[in-house]
Amino acid sequence: MAYIGKEPQVGNYVKLDAISTSSTNTYNLTKDSVAFTPESALHMIVSLNGVIQAPLTSFSVSGSTITFLPSSGTLSSSDTIDFILVLGNVLDIGTPSDSTVTNAKTNFVSTSSSAGLTIKGDGTSSGTTGTLQLNCSNNNHGIKLASPAHTHGQSYTLTFPTTAPVADKALITDGSGNLSFGNAGGLVLLQTVTASDDATVEIGSSSLFTTTYRTYIIYYSNVHLAADNGDINLRFGISGSIRSDSYYDFTRYVRYDGSTSSVGQAGNLQNALLKAVGQARGNDTGEQSSGYVMVYDPASTDNYKHINIFNTGDDITSDATQSVLGGRYRTVSALTSIQFYSGAGNITSGYFRLYGIA
C-alpha cells in the first residue's frame, strides 16, 4: 500500500539489556532485568562483533532465550554482543507481549453509547460471564466482580455516590441504579440512656423523632425501682413539655403466669401505660422489668400518636407478670420525647435504647 509522506510503522520497539558473552551460545533475554519473550527471531535485529546477524540462520529464539549459531562453533568471552533490538510486529501489533501494555497505553474513553472498557464472557449462553478480578499486592489471590448469568437477561448501570463513604452505612440504590450511602434496613441505634437513681428517664427529642423513620422502638431492660409496690409509667412530651392529661386512651391485656390465666381491660389509662395491672413491683435484688415500646410516626402532624407496648416484670414473692398494651394519644402534634417514671420512688437502674426502623 502506498502512502503520502512517511510510511507509518506500528510496533513495540525495545532494546534489550546488555549481555556478557562466555563459553556458551545460549543466553537469557531480559528488559530491565525482567525476562523478555520476542514474537520470533524475525522480529529482532542482533549485532554480534559489529555484524548484523541473520535471523534463523545465525541465531534462533526459544521463549526468552537466544541461541547463536556461529560458523566458528562456540562463543567466548572475547566475542561481543553489541545490541539486541526487538521490533515487535511492524504494521500489525498482533498479540501484545506480557507487561507491554502499560498504564500510559490504556486510555479508555467512555461515550454516551458505549463503555470505555468491556470485559466479555466466553460467548456461550450457560458459560462464564464477564469477570473483573482485583488482585492483592502479591498477585497471588484476589476478589472478582462478575456479571449476572445470561439467563437473567440483566442490563443496568450502577452509578456510585457523589459523597464519600460514611461509617456504618451501606450502599443503597434508588431503583434506577443511582447509589448512595444510607441505611440498608433493620434497626438503627439513635440513643442510649442508662438510668442511675433518676426520677425520670426521657427518650427521644425533636431531632431524633423525625420523618427519616416512620416507626421507632425503645428497648428497655433490667429496670429496677427504688420503692416497693411501684409501677413503671410512661408519658409523652410535645413541644418540649411532658403531658399529663386525659388524652391517653389505651387497651390492656395482662397474663399472670401461674396464679391467674388472663386479665383483660380497656379504657382510659391516663399516664399509666406500663403498669403491672394489679401486680405490684418489688424492689428487692433480682426484681426488674424489661420490654419494648413501639411508636408510630411520632413526627407526623396529621395523625394521632399510636403506640404498642410489651412488658415483662417480676416480684420474688409472686409470679412474673406480662403486659401487652396498645393505644394512642389524641393529638396530631409531633412528639418530642417519651418519658419513663415510677409511681413510687426513683428508677435506680436500667438500660434504654432508642432505634429507628429503616
Q: What is the pLDDT of residue 137?
A: 92
What is the SS3 assignment for 208? coil
Q: What is the pLDDT of residue 318?
A: 61
Q: What is the pLDDT of residue 278?
A: 33
**Distance, CA of 192 to CA of 215 (rounded, Å):** 17
Strand partners, 157: none
**Distance, CA of 195 to CA of 352 (rounded, Å):** 8
What does DSSP assign to residue 246?
S
Q: What is the pLDDT of residue 279?
A: 41
Residue identified by cell 445470561 is 150
What is the SS3 assignment for 123? coil
Cell triple for 250: 389505651
Amino acid letter at 275?
Answer: K
**Distance, CA of 63 to CA of 14 (rounded, Å):** 16
Q: Which residue ranges make up each domain of the chain?
A: 14-86, 188-357
Q: What is the pLDDT of residue 283?
A: 67
Burial of 10 per CB tally in 10 Å (0-12, 13-18, 19+) = exposed
**Distance, CA of 140 to CA of 199 (rounded, Å):** 62
**Farthest CA pair distance, the chain:** 116
**CATH level 3 topology of 188-357:** Jelly Rolls (2.60.120)
Give, rounded to a whole angstrom, the gap between the first and last alpha carbons of the chain.
68
Residue ranges of the chain with pLDDT lower than 50? 258, 261, 265-272, 275-280
Q: What is the pLDDT of residue 356?
A: 95
Q: What is the pLDDT of residue 261?
A: 47
Picking from 341, 336, 342, the residue whose alpha carbon sits closest to that of residue 241 is 336
Q: Are 340 and 295 a contacting pair, CB within 8 Å?
A: no
